[in-house]
């Protein structure tokens, strides 16, 4: 399968996941809003959605990446590392997702408190403040925020899983792997990410040099969504790494 066709298929798959979890995250935000109005705090619906997203995507892409390296196909899957990968996913979720969800929830609380304060300052009744909060949280800003969260977290889950699978495949087979940066497109694309999508294969252990002309920051990224990178190279990024056998 040529690189262009492969990129198209991967883009469709990841886009479908982004759309599905954008809807689920927006639903969670609205659920938290209603819970806040009733109790003054958030429920755990965001944690449940984020945990599900990482478990589903990581399970899929761990297996998919392995088979791509093994057989150059997108459809077959393997059970080879299933138990090991399940433990790895659970360890990752326990070590990383609590703080991530806390940060998302903290931003939600701040927005809800600001809307509450605006209503109180305007002399609104409790019922009017509740209506104000619902209108704010059911509007376009929440749709955009849900889309941003879904795109960012989906991108991280996909790239971490593909990298783990490639590491395991290389360790198991002893064969060297290269990688390619794939830019999937965006409404407001990062030109410096687009320039990395040049079809050039580099060794897996060599970083991509990612220079942000807007900030002057330069990151050495092992893959898109590398956790060591600056926020400007990670947030709302839809790029994906492609691992290939080195010739």
Q: Per-residue pLDDT tens for 169-193?
A: 999 889 999 999 999 877 778 889 9
| Least confidently predicted of 105-109, 120-124, 159-163, 228-232 | 228-232
- Output phi, psi for 72, to 5 deg: 55, 40
Pairing, β 202-203 against β 177-182: antiparallel
Over the stretch 111-151, which tens digit does the pLDDT of each residue have? 999 999 999 999 999 999 999 999 888 888 899 999 999 99
Q: For residue 136, give the nearest of 235, 32, 18, 45 by alpha carbon.
A: 32
């Amino acid at each position: 399968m040529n690189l262009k066709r492969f990129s198209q298929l991967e883009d469709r798959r990841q886009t479908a996941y982004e759309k599905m979890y954008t809807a689920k995250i927006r639903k969670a935000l609205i659920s938290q809003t209603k819970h806040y109005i009733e109790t003054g705090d958030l429920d755990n619906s965001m944690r449940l959605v984020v945990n599900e997203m990482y478990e589903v995507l990581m399970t899929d892409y761990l297996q998919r990446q392995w088979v791509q390296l093994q057989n150059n196909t997108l459809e077959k899957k393997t059970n080879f590392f299933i138990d090991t990968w399940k433990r790895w996913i659970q360890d990752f979720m326990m070590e990383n997702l609590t703080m991530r969800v806390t940060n998302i929830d903290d931003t939600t609380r701040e927005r809800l408190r600001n809307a509450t304060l605006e209503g109180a300052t305007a002399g609104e009744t409790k019922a009017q403040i509740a209506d104000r909060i619902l209108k704010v949280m059911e509007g376009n800003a929440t749709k955009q925020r849900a889309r941003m969260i879904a795109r960012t977290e989906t991108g991280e889950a996909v790239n971490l899983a593909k990298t783990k699978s490639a590491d395991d495949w290389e360790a198991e087979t002893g064969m060297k792997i290269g990688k390619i940066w794939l830019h999937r497109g965006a409404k407001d694309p990062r030109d410096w990410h687009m320039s990395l999508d040049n079809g050039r294969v580099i060794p897996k252990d060599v970083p991509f040099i990612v220079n942000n002309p807007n900030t002057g920051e330069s990151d050495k990224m092992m893959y898109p969504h590398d956790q060591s990178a600056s926020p400007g190279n990670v947030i709302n990024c839809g790029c994906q790494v492609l691992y290939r056998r080195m010739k």
